[in-house]
Each structure stands twice: as C-alpha cells, then as structure tokens.
Structure 1
Amino acid sequence: MTVKKTALAALTAAALTIPAAANAHFQLSYTPEVQIERPGDVPVKLIFWHPFENGHVMDMGEPLEFYMIHRGEKTDLMDTVAPITFQGADNSAAAFEASVPVKRAGDYVLVTVPAPYYEESEDIYIQQITKAYLNRGTLPTDWMEAQGLPTEIVPLNKPTNVIAGSTFSGVVLSNGEPVPGVEIEIEYMAAEPDMDANSTTEPTVSPMPGGAVVAVTDADGEFTFGIPKAGFWGFAALGSGPETEHEGKELSQDAVIWIRAYDLQ
C-alpha cells in the first residue's frame, strides 16, 4: 500500500482551509449536461484552469489519452480531440475539445490522461488524471467501478446526481490500493465554460477566504465532503499517484474527479 503523510492516516476526512493552496490547478473535462436524454455526440471541453477563482488558464499539452468506459468497454476517443484556444478572464491558453458518442443507456466514464504540465513557479510537473461522468436513461452501469488508472478517485455516491446539502464520499487509489492521509483539494466550478465561444463566463460565487478547501483521506483512503451548492464540484487528490518524477523534476501525479450536484425541486 502507498502511504503518504502517515501522520495524518488516522484522521477522518475533514474540510479545512489551507492558505498556501490559494490557487488550485484543476483539469476540466466539461460538458454542460451530464444527464443525456437523446443519443448523439456530446461535446466536451478539456481545459486546465482555476474555475473557482475564474483565474489563470494554463497551456495544456495534447492529452496522452482520452477515452470512455461504457458497460465495462473502453473506447478510445483521441480521434475526436482537437486543439482550441480558451479565453479566461485574464489570459488565453491552449486547450482541447472532443466528443463522446452516447448511444445506449448507462454510465459513460470519461478519462483524461493529460501530458505533465510544468509549473515554473514551483519548479515541478503536474499531471492530473481526470474522471468525469455522463449518464443516459438513469441506468447505473459503471460509476462505482475503479478503472485501473495509476491513481484515481472511486466515487461512493453516484456522481451524476448528488443532492446539494448532502455529502459526497470517495476513496483514493494508487495502483489499486487505498491511500491514507492524502490531501484532497476541492473546487467549485464557479465559472463554467461557454461551449460556443470557448471562453469563461461570469462566476456565480466568489472563492472561499483562506485559500483552497481541503479534505484529508482517512486510514481507508476515504473522504467525505458536504456539498453546499448545486453545480459542478471537483476533487483532486494531490500527489496520490505512483509516479513522482518527470524529466528529472518532481512530479505531482494527482487523481481528479468531477461530480454534478442538483437542488431538490
């Protein structure tokens, strides 16, 4: 079992604020709707951004992999990936768009394996292996399954219809084993991308004072966070992956998951 920050292994997951993590990098795999009513190609934007702050956009290299899992079957979608320029509030950067063929009922797990990104201010590389979810017909098929990634967050609640005001739980895995004591940065997508203009929109809320919101996995690699608001929420397990070096420099190989929360009507 991979053990990081073992002094925290006995902690239950708790929401904390850490001023040093004021600007959380987050790999997006974004589509406005996750409940798909009709079969067809669903557009997706792949953006490396700070959506809570509506902040700086990072240049994304071409993804190493982009694929979907549906009913346990993997479909490579790299032939749908095309470069775009995404305009943030303060800068523009390289990003990508893709599409997902949604036909049968069930879950569609979208997996993005980005190229490592060099963060000059910290002199490290960051690679955020990201999962997002679509569903057609409300049929559960794949959401609760691990996908065999080097590191990933496996949801313990259905990620496509979390109730705002309830909680979301997940377990962090590295090479299939739970990771205790790992920090989970938590991001609200306050500014959602405009799919047609490839640009940011006006944020709906302001970021939290005191920096990024953080939870810590317990001895079983699990965390729980109360979801206060409807919308898209992202969770990034920092440095949870087995790879720690890239091109002679430190690599933070993170696991990211995006979920969608709704208000009860």
Structure 2
Amino acid sequence: MKTRMLIILLAVMVPGSAGPVQAHFGMVIPSDTMIMARENRTVHLTFSFSHPFEGHGMPLARPRSAAVFFAGKRIELQDHLMPIRFMDHSAWALDYPIRRPGVYQFLMAPQPYWEPAEDLFIIHYTKTVIAAFGDEQNWDAETGMKAEIVPLTRPFGLYAGNVFRAIIKRDGRPVPHAMVEIEYYNQDGRAQASTGFMVTQTVKSDGNGIFCYAPPVSGWWGFAALGPAGFKLKHDGIDKEVELGAVIWVLFDDWETK
C-alpha cells in the first residue's frame, strides 16, 4: 500500500503507485452480525491488523480506544480487552453482552503502527455494525471518529452480490474522488488470486464522497479509504508521514433455499 496524496478535508485521494501492493487493514470482526432473541446474546469481537486476503498478520499494540456506539452514545471498552494471538501476531478480543434491541457499532482507534517498508506510520479507524432483536434503526449513524466510512446500504443482512454503498468522511465532511481499497477476509485460506491485482479491489468515490461495490462471494469484506493524516510523528527522532485510514467490515451471506 503506497502513500496516497490527500488534500485534507474535501480532498482527492489518488494512488501513489500503479502496481499491486499488499494492503493493510485494521480489523474488527464480531462472532455474529444479527442477534436474534433465542441466540447467544454475547458477541465475541476480535481486534487485529493484517493483510486479510493473504492471511498475514501484523502486531497490534493495545488500541488507544475500543468502544461501542449505541443509541447515540459511545461507551469505552478498552478495559475489557484481552490479549490474544491472531494470524501469529498480537491482537485483542472482548466479549460484549447484548441486552437491548438496536444497532451496535464497534469501533477501534489503534496506536500508530510503524511500517518500515513504507517509511511511515499507519492509523486505521476501524468499525463494524451489528443489529439485535429485530431493531435496525440508526444503522447509518455517524460515530464521530476522525475518519469514518458511513454506510448508505444497511451494513448487515446482506447477500453476496448485493451492492454496498457508503460515504467517506474526514472530520465529519465528505471526501470526494477518494480511492477505496477493498479486500476479502480469506478466513480458511482457500481463495486464490491469479495475480497481485486480484488480491485488493479498488473503487473511487464520486464528487460527494460516495462509493459502491458488489462483493462476488459471501464472507467478510473490508473497505478502506486512506490518505495522509496532515501531521507527522517521530521515529528515531525523525519526523515521519502518517497514513490515516477509515475502515469498515461488512459480512455478506449466501442466498438460502429450502
């Protein structure tokens, strides 16, 4: 993933390289996306950082924030994080009991990750959305994250092949003509890519910051909009660029028959 050039706020993201590269993705993956009355009401969530198609993990330091956004309020969950191993690297998990009907957004704000291959830091503001007990109101609510992908398609109860639409926002304002990287979470390792170009899909938002994509197969798909943060952080005493990402993970299911 090469550095993108972004004029901060109402800006244009453009690819920094013409060749295929390994995409980084913050990941927040729940054990269920639609909690029904007679099901297990505790959701297990995994927080990680990886190349999801290749199955290559990177170490994730304890996030600066892990939270749930519900009924217009953000509740911090960082104290409930448990260290785990994921893709052979450090990651985090928590169990969250669902007690009320509604839509729950689970959020992660990580610590900056130093990527020596790109000579920069990476920060991915990542989220996923679940619904409980038949209530689907406010699935498009904004959480106030600095960089955020706000869904325009309900982000649960989707079939493979459905079109997913969303708007990219930075500090609450749309980012037009942005490049969005899309990748399949190759959970069982069975999916193969004929070339590096087939690993990560790319679409572009329109003049209003809206993009759309139709995943061809069922499973978890990650959508990431990336650009410079507009500030630098020091590494070994030297100022380095920071890549800021807005990421959302959405599950697409198979069509069921009798």
- Counterpart Cα distance in 2 of 1:153 and 1:21: 23
- Counterpart Cα distance in 1 of 2:18 and 2:91: 28
Where do 1:180-259 residues align within 5 Å? 180-191=176-187, 202-207=188-193, 209-211=195-197, 212-239=200-227, 242-247=229-234, 248-259=239-250
Find the partner of 2:137 among 141, 151, 166: 141
Q: Aligned to 1:57, what secondary structure does the other structure show?
A: strand
Deviations 1:48-91 (A, max 9, x none): 1112112x2111111000110112122111121121222x3xxx
Q: Find the counterpart in structure 2 of residue 110 from structure 1.
A: 106
Q: Is the 8 A contact 1:153 1:170 kept in 2?
A: yes
Where do 1:81-100 residues align within 5 Å? 81-86=81-86, 88=87, 92-100=88-96
Q: Find the counterpart in structure 2 of residue 22 from structure 1.
A: 21
Shift of 1:227: 1.9
Cα separation, partners in 2 of 1:161 and 1:204, compared to 1, 3 Å: farther
- Counterpart Cα distance in 2 of 1:208 and 1:169: 27
* Structure 1 position 176 matched with structure 2 position 172: yes
Larger RCO of the pair (alpha carbons < 8 Å, separation 6+): 1
- Counterpart Cα distance in 1 of 2:99 and 2:254: 27
- Counterpart Cα distance in 1 of 2:194 and 2:109: 29
- Counterpart Cα distance in 1 of 2:20 and 2:28: 22
User: One-letter code of the match for 2:28?
Assistant: S
C-alpha RMSD over aligned residues: 2.0
Q: Is the 8 A contact 1:184 1:235 kept in 2?
A: yes
User: One-letter code of the match for 1:27?
Assistant: G
Q: Aligned to 2:227, what secondary structure does the other structure show?
A: coil
Shift of 1:40: 3.4
Q: Aligned to 2:19, what secondary structure does the other structure show?
A: helix
User: One-letter code of the match for 1:85?
Assistant: R
Shift of 1:150: 0.7
- Counterpart Cα distance in 2 of 1:78 and 1:41: 17
Number of residue-to-residue matches in the alignment? 240
- Counterpart Cα distance in 1 of 2:26 and 2:112: 11
Q: Find the counterpart in structure 2 of residue 198 from structure 1.
A: none
- TM-score, reference length from structure 2: 0.86
Q: Aligned to 2:164, what secondary structure does the other structure show?
A: strand
Shift of 1:19: 6.0
- Counterpart Cα distance in 1 of 2:118 and 2:209: 27
- Counterpart Cα distance in 2 of 1:208 and 1:82: 37
Where do 1:43-122 residues align within 5 Å? 43-54=44-55, 56-86=56-86, 88=87, 92-122=88-118
Q: Is the 8 A contact 1:81 1:96 kept in 2?
A: yes
Q: Aligned to 2:57, what secondary structure does the other structure show?
A: coil
- Counterpart Cα distance in 1 of 2:123 and 2:20: 17
Give identity over the alignment, percent.
30
Structure 1 unaligned segments of length 5 or more: list them. Answer: 9-15, 192-201
